[in-house]
Structure 1
Amino acid sequence: MIVKIEFNYETDTGYMICPSKVGKNVRQLQRDFDKWLYNRENNHPYWELALIDEDGNELYGVCFNAEAFVYWLNNVRFNKGKKVARLIEIPNKTPKKTIRF
């Protein structure tokens, strides 16, 4: 199944190909990804230092793209060694689903 991945803050659109079983649940997977992404206890490469307050505390935000969602699917959610999703340049079929970040 082909899934279109759009971002509100970018003009870039990504496309992911995955099994129908994964694509059918892509919106729930997106919600689970968001919980993982914004959980400060998770050490992932998408954290960016946003600012250091006057007390010296570091405050972080996240910076990610479609590649981060595919990484999470393949390495966190479905981590049994088999890749369930990959990004593609230009789909040869119309995407069946669209998710937006």
Structure 2
Amino acid sequence: MRILVQFCVNADIIECPAFILNDLKSYQNEFTEWLYDKTNDHAYWMYKDGEKYGCSYRSEAFVEWLNKFILDKHEEKAKVVEQSVDEDGLVCRAEYPKDITALIHTEIESFRKWLTNKNSEGICKEEEYKKKYGMRKYIGYASAEWINSFILNERNEKAYVIDKQMDYDEMKAMPKIFF
């Protein structure tokens, strides 16, 4: 069974056993309680001055929790099927090696400066990317170029863009949860 996991800007799609739908809201509440319980150590904590102060997560956190605490004895597990789907079913994002995620987050200001610096003609990369790819896709393509040029420049692995359209009717028919 597919479920649309809605965040404030876009959504992810997960797949899980059908029985999860019977108590989906309950599972969501249990997950949220677990996630924000400061006695739990997990990869989704944000720290300030060495103290846990909030969580940064997407649907993979919910999937991990389902698999560990609800589906631990089940053969069928939950999984993320698609990430960063907008309300019209558009998917456009940069994919990159997961080991550089933390580095990318610390360098986000460098990315913003790179994207908005103007060239000799007074045009910034952001304007060029918007013109070439459109408002809804430009950030995925710009991110991939920046990651390849400044983070992965010496590595064989490269960032790439996933750019596709999901079936709108199928997506709208999915059960939804909101985070």
**TM-score, normalised relative to structure 2:** 0.47
| Structure 1 segment 53-68 matched on structure 2, within 5 A | 58-68=51-61
Question: Does 1 or 2 have the higher relative contact order (CA < 8 Å, sep 6+)?
Answer: 1
| Structure 1 segment 15-94 matched on structure 2, within 5 A | 15-49=13-47, 51-52=48-49, 58-80=51-73, 82-89=75-82, 90=166, 93-94=170-171
Could you list the runs of 5+ residues in structure 1 that have no partner in the other structure? none
SS in 1 for 2:64: helix
Specify the structure having the higher radius of gyration (Cα). 2
Deviates most, 73-82 or 18-27: 73-82
Q: Say if 1:2 and 1:23, in contact at 8 Å, map to a contact too.
A: no
Q: Say if 1:74 and 1:82, in contact at 8 Å, map to a contact too.
A: no
Per the alignment, residue 7 of structure 1 pairs with 7
Q: Say if 2:14 and 2:78, in contact at 8 Å, map to a contact too.
A: yes
Deviates most, 17-26 or 84-93: 84-93
What do you get for the CA RMSD once the two structures are aligned?
A: 2.1
Matched, 1:100 2:161: no
Could you list the runs of 5+ residues in structure 2 that have no partner in the other structure? 83-165
**2-side partners of 1:59 and 1:74: how far apart?**
24
Residue type of the partner of 1:22? I
- List structure 1 runs of 4+ shifted beyond 6 angstroms: none
Q: Which structure is higher in strand share?
A: 1
Q: How far did 1:39 drift?
A: 0.5
**2-side partners of 1:96 and 1:59: how far apart?**
34
